[in-house]
Amino acid sequence: MKQYKYFRGGVKAPHYKNTENVETTVMPIPDLIEIPMLHHIGAPCDPLVKPGDEILVGQKIGDSDKYISAPVHTGVSGKVKKINNVLFPNGETVKSVLIESDKKQELHPSIKPPVINSKKDFIAAIRESGLVGLGGAGFPTHVKLNPPEGIKIEYLLINGAECEPYITSDYRESIENSWNIISGINIIMEYLEIDKVIIGIEDNKPKAVEVLTGIAKTSDKIDIMPLKSKYPQGAEKMLIYSLTGKVVPAGKLPLDVGVIVLNVASVAFIASYIKTGMPLTKKRITIDGGAVKQPANIEVFVGTYIKEAISFAGGFKEVPKKILMGGPMMGVSQFNLDSPILKQNNAILAFNEKQSKMPEQTACIKCGRCVSVCPMNLMPVYFDIFNESGDADQLSKLDVLSCIECGSCSFVCPASRYLVQSIRNGKLLVRARGSK
């Protein structure tokens, strides 16, 4: 099947897929893990355990009664040492559960395949599994699967467009775990009564295209569409447009246009959860960057400290100067190496001095490059100007809230303007003013 539409703008980001042929290795159980109570967009969970509690594998340790939230589970057995606080890079402090593992890995009695008789049961089970969007954003999946009254879901789209440089964890997922991807797709099609599935994957990953084409052949309801490799092809709105031609209106969700988008790793997880009842406690991530000795793909427990994951993968060859959770275009730079790995992390990058330093800003030359690459058809140059002058009215008129923070504009700016930073600040200004 040929690509349906091409989104406007976008950039040719470098690939740096150094780990695409590196098979995933499983990291042994660490002595200590620290599981934050927030891995997702939405309300944080409250801890359900207290210091001294003995806990077992798969046990739920945090939950919330808010709709947009997802429970948190432990992947190791052991003893709760402490309820801690972790500082997130956005400045937020979040509670966390510090666990000393006993390496016995005894299963919690609640772990058994969920009983599902209806669509409602299915969505409830997905909530219980703790699944959030594994592609990076971390939106609770059960919310994504639950259409508002009166909306029929037309398409299930599978996102295999891993457009961020360096990251290959989804690629490895497609190759190493293809069987779970097929069964995941079938399970979702069945329970949500969807009869059109399209797998989108960038055409620079021929091996994965081959494997997924095999999957698509198993049913005439499943199609595969190789996509032109262009950043940000994997952004939800761009992917939906490329695969179906549908445009998600500003401020709406894919569900509002009858579409569900799931990442390959999320689909594979759903299959394994339905089979075993084991909630989301492990994650496949790519370790790379100029400061690490051995770029790798590893499977880790959620809550593993960054430094331990990197030292398992081979450690540093240079002094790390920047630590990223996620890719270089949208990833978040960390304050230190002691942050725990989150559910939606798909990569940890450690940059050396040269990679870490961003060039100084110079005067904007009004070249319009930022405007021509913006996939959301926005005018980043004005966001920069009006953020500086603190003009929330103009920012809101120019639709700053529609920006998906893909970073394309900053990436191409010849004056190295910190456009995304201005945009984030501009969004705060608009929200603080309290208008839409």
* Residues that bind ligand SF4 in the complex, under the rule CB under 6 A: 364-370, 373-376, 378, 380-381, 384, 403-409, 413-415, 417, 419-420, 423
Asked if 321 contacts 351 with a C-beta cutoff of 8 angstroms, the reply is yes
Question: Does residue 328 touch other proteins according to CB under 8 A?
Answer: yes
CB of 107 to ligand SF4, least distance (A): 44
Among 208, 407, 426, 430, binds other proteins (CB under 8 A): 407
* Token pair for 418: 């910190």
What does the alpha-carbon distance between residue 58 and residue 128 come to, in Å, rounded to a whole number?
A: 11
Question: Does residue 412 touch other proteins according to CB under 8 A?
Answer: yes
* Positive/negative CA dihedral, 201, 202, 206, 207: negative
Instruction: From the list ligand SF4, other proteins, none, pick the one residue 417 interacts with, judged by a Cβ distance below 5 to 8 Å according to partner type.
Output: ligand SF4
Interactions with other proteins, residue window 114-133 (CB under 8 A):
none
Question: Does residue 237 touch other proteins according to CB under 8 A?
Answer: yes
Q: Judged by CB, which is closer to ligand SF4: 140, or 232? A: 232
Question: Does residue 398 touch other proteins according to CB under 8 A?
Answer: yes
Q: Judged by CB, which is closer to ligand SF4: 76, or 423? A: 423
Instruction: From the list ligand SF4, other proteins, none, pick the one residue 320 interacts with, judged by a Cβ distance below 5 to 8 Å according to partner type.
Output: other proteins
Among 6, 8, 207, 218, binds other proteins (CB under 8 A): 8
The position carrying tokens 């084409």 is: 213
CB of 8 to other proteins, least distance (A): 7
Q: Judged by CB, which is closer to ligand SF4: 315, or 414? A: 414
Interactions with other proteins, residue window 165-184 (CB under 8 A):
165
Question: Does residue 399 touch other proteins according to CB under 8 A?
Answer: yes
Q: Judged by CB, which is closer to ligand SF4: 90, or 117? A: 90
Question: Does residue 233 touch other proteins according to CB under 8 A?
Answer: no
Q: Judged by CB, which is closer to other proteins: 248, or 302? A: 248
Of 37-45, 57-65, 67-75, 407-415, the window that binds other proteins (rule: CB under 8 A) is 407-415
Q: Judged by CB, which is closer to other proteins: 11, or 57? A: 11
String of contacts with other proteins for each residue 342-361, x by CB under 8 A: ---------x---xxxxx--
What does the alpha-carbon distance between residue 68 and residue 56 come to, in Å, rounded to a whole number?
A: 26
String of contacts with other proteins for each residue 78-117, x by CB under 8 A: -----------x----------------------------
Q: Judged by CB, which is closer to other proteins: 58, or 327? A: 327
